[in-house]
């Protein structure tokens, strides 16, 4: 049911009222996704027509008006929920960009379709601060080369609301893995019983290469630790480029990120972690309770390895859903054993197989030689060369 401000009541008790500023948050009742236009050109149109404006704390200000998309019951449509936020579907109208003096008004008599955006709004009292810090990280990332292949485009903040406006990508890696796990369950034959659920070893290796290259860029070019890598924080943008996994994986959710280029640390957000994807060294009571504890490049490597492991097993909870909370904690705390533990219920990670070869050094104890992202990327590239013909047949 819509509340008095026309915003959704989602059944989640911690959901605060989403923004309703007349300037930024109109409602759009008669739009559906099919009416929406491509969003690829938006950032470049904006950039060529104006210098991006920033807040005093260096956050890009969203230069256009956003309208929330409603369903036929008048409820705001939602892309997803996170630990800090609710992410709404919205649109931006090109004519509002023009009214901000950014684009020359369209000369064609046919109006262009609106552009789909995702509006990440705070969902807890303590979330605005976290979202502002995420907005700072995203603003930095947007200024770097190759960001559009690595990270979902950040259009800017709706300042008064501390809501983030992002390019929308409706498919997450988590949903992709879940749907392929379902397909794999119904099409089990002897030949594919030990293949990654997302298709084949070649497809999995291509995904691994894309994700690990992105993480290498994040650590070494963007000097940023993500801090919460998991399939739900990776969105998929279809691509026609080379490779057998036909999407660009884009990272989202920088709410736990750390800027390696400054001494300043982002507040400990480990309370919002997903246990099974978290590196074991972060899971001690001492680390969890220390306000100065942060994720690291090594813990990102571990979480990315679990993300890739799950793309092979299809089990997005990492361990089977029947496992109790205490068992999950126990397995997570002995994370360096994860490949062995997973082999006890999945045949899709055979010893000496491609998945094991890529992941084994990435799940080592952090002080026992866990691989760095640059060495990890190199390892995958060597494997791609070595197995070229071989993998095509797998």
Ligand X SMILES: Nc1ncnc2c1ncn2[C@@H]1O[C@H](COP(=O)(O)OP(=O)(O)O)[C@@H](O)[C@H]1O
Chain contacts with ligand X (rule: CB under 6 A): 79-85, 87, 118, 120, 152, 166-170, 172, 232-233, 235, 252-253, 255
Query: Angle of helix 297-313 relative to helix 373-386, nearest 10 degrees?
Result: 40
Nearer to Mg ion among residue 150 and residue 370 (C-beta): 150
Residue 152: CB minimum distance to ligand X, A: 4
By a kind-dependent CB cut-off of 5 to 8 A, residue 168 interacts, out of ligand X, Mg ion, none, with ligand X
Distance CA 339, CA 306 (A): 9
Name the DSSP letter for residue 302.
H
Q: Could you give the 3-state DSSP secondary structure of residue 285?
A: helix
Residue 224: other Cβ atoms inside 10 A: 24
**Residue partners of 52: CB distance under 8 A and separation at least 6:** 46, 60, 61, 63, 156
Rounded Cα distance between 330 and 88, Å, is 36
For residues 42 to 81, the per-residue mask of contacts with Mg ion, x marking binding by CB under 5 A and - elsewhere, is ----------------------------------------
- Paired tokens of 51: 């210098």
Tell me the closest approach of the beta carbon of residue 82 to Mg ion, in angstroms: 4
For the bound state, the minimum distance from the C-beta of residue 84 to Mg ion, rounded and expressed in Å, comes to 8
Least Å distance, CB 328 to ligand X, is 19
Residue 82 as a binder of Mg ion (CB under 5 A): the answer is yes
Tokens in use for 240? Answer: 């026609």
Closest distance to ligand X from the beta carbon of 130 (Å): 7
Tell me the closest approach of the beta carbon of residue 365 to ligand X, in angstroms: 27
C-beta closer to Mg ion: residue 65 or 253: 253
Binds Mg ion (CB under 5 A): choice among 67, 134, 174, 253: 253
Specify the residue, 63 or 231, whose C-beta has the smaller distance to Mg ion: 231
Nearer to ligand X, 10 or 192 (CB): 10
Smallest separation, CB 369 to Mg ion (Å): 30
Distance CA 331, CA 151 (A): 31
CA–CA distance, 157 with 119 (Å, rounded to integer) = 9
Distance from C-alpha of 97 to C-alpha of 104, rounded to nearest angstrom: 9
Tell me the residue nearest to ligand X as measured from the CB: 82
Q: Which of residues 259-318 bind Mg ion (CB under 5 A)?
A: none
- Judged by beta carbon, residue 120 or residue 336, the one nearer Mg ion is 120
Task: Kindly give, in sequence order, each residue whose CB lies less than 8 Å from that of residue 359, ignoring residues fewer than 6 positions away.
Answer: 305, 308, 309, 339, 349
CB of 198 to ligand X, least distance (A): 18
Taking the CA atoms of residue 359, residue 357, residue 390 and residue 197 in that order, the dihedral angle to the nearest 10 degrees is -40
Chosen from ligand X, Mg ion, none, partner binding at 147 (C-beta under 5 to 8 Å by type): none
Q: Any idea what DSSP says for residue 246?
A: -
* Residue with the two structure tokens 């998309």: 69
Q: What angle do CA 19, 50, 253 make, to 5 degrees?
A: 45
Q: Which does 255 bind (CB under 5 to 8 A by kind): ligand X, Mg ion, none?
A: ligand X
Q: Which is nearer to ligand X, 84 or 319 (CB)?
A: 84
Minimum Å distance from CB 135 to ligand X? 12
Strand bridging mode 25-28 / 66-69: parallel
Residue 38 vs 170, nearer CB to ligand X: 170
Name beta bridge partners: 72.
Answer: none
Write out the DSSP string of 378-389.
HHHHHHHHHTHH
Looking at beta carbons only, is 172 or 307 nearer to ligand X? 172
- For residues 4 to 43, the per-residue mask of contacts with Mg ion, x marking binding by CB under 5 A and - elsewhere, is ----------------------------------------
Distance separating alpha carbons of residues 82 and 161, to the nearest angstrom: 17
231 is a contact residue toward Mg ion (CB under 5 A): no
Closer of 31 and 167 to ligand X (Cβ)? 167
Stretch that binds Mg ion, among 16-24, 125-133, 229-237, 283-291 (CB under 5 A): 229-237
DSSP state of 151: B
Q: Which residues bind Mg ion (CB under 5 A)?
A: 82, 233, 253
């Amino acid at each position: 049911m819509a509340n008095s401000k026309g915003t959704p009541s989602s059944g989640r008790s911690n959901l605060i009222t989403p923004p309703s500023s007349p300037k930024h948050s109109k409602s759009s009742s008669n739009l559906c996704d099919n009416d929406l236009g491509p969003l690829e050109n938006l950032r470049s149109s904006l950039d060529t027509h104006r210098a991006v404006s920033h807040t005093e704390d260096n956050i890009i200000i969203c230069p256009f008006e956003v309208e929330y998309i409603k369903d036929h019951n008048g409820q705001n449509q939602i892309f997803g929920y996170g630990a800090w936020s609710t992410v709404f579907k919205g649109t931006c109208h090109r004519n509002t960009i023009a009214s901000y003096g950014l684009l020359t008004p369209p000369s064609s008599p046919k109006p262009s379709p609106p552009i789909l955006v995702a509006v990440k709004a705070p969902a807890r009292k303590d979330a605005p601060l976290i979202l502002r810090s995420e907005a700072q990280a995203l603003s930095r990332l947007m200024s770097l080369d190759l960001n559009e292949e690595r990270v979902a485009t950040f259009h800017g903040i709706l300042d008064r609301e501390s809501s983030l406006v992002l390019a929308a990508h409706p498919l997450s890696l988590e949903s992709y893995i879940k749907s392929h796990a379902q397909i794999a369950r119904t099409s089990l034959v002897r030949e594919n019983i030990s293949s990654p659920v997302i298709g084949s070893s070649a497809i999995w290796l291509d995904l691994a290469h894309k994700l690990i290259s992105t993480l290498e860029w994040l650590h070494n070019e963007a000097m940023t630790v993500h801090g919460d890598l998991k399939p739900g924080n990776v969105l998929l943008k279809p691509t026609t480029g080379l490779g057998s996994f036909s999407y660009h994986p884009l990272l989202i959710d920088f709410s736990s990120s750390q800027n390696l280029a400054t001494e300043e640390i982002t507040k400990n957000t480990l309370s919002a972690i997903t246990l099974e994807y978290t590196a074991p060294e972060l899971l001690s009571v001492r680390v969890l309770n220390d306000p100065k504890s942060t994720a690291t490049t090594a813990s990102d490597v571990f979480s990315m390895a679990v993300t890739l492991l799950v793309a092979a097993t299809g089990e997005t909870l990492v361990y089977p859903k029947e496992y109790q909370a205490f068992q999950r904690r126990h397995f997570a705390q002995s994370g360096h054993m994860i490949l062995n533990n997973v082999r006890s219920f999945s045949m899709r990670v055979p010893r000496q197989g491609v998945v094991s070869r890529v992941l084994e050094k990435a799940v080592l104890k952090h002080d026992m030689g866990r691989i760095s992202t640059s060495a990890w990327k190199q390892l995958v590239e060597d494997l791609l060369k070595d197995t070229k013909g071989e993998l095509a047949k797998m």
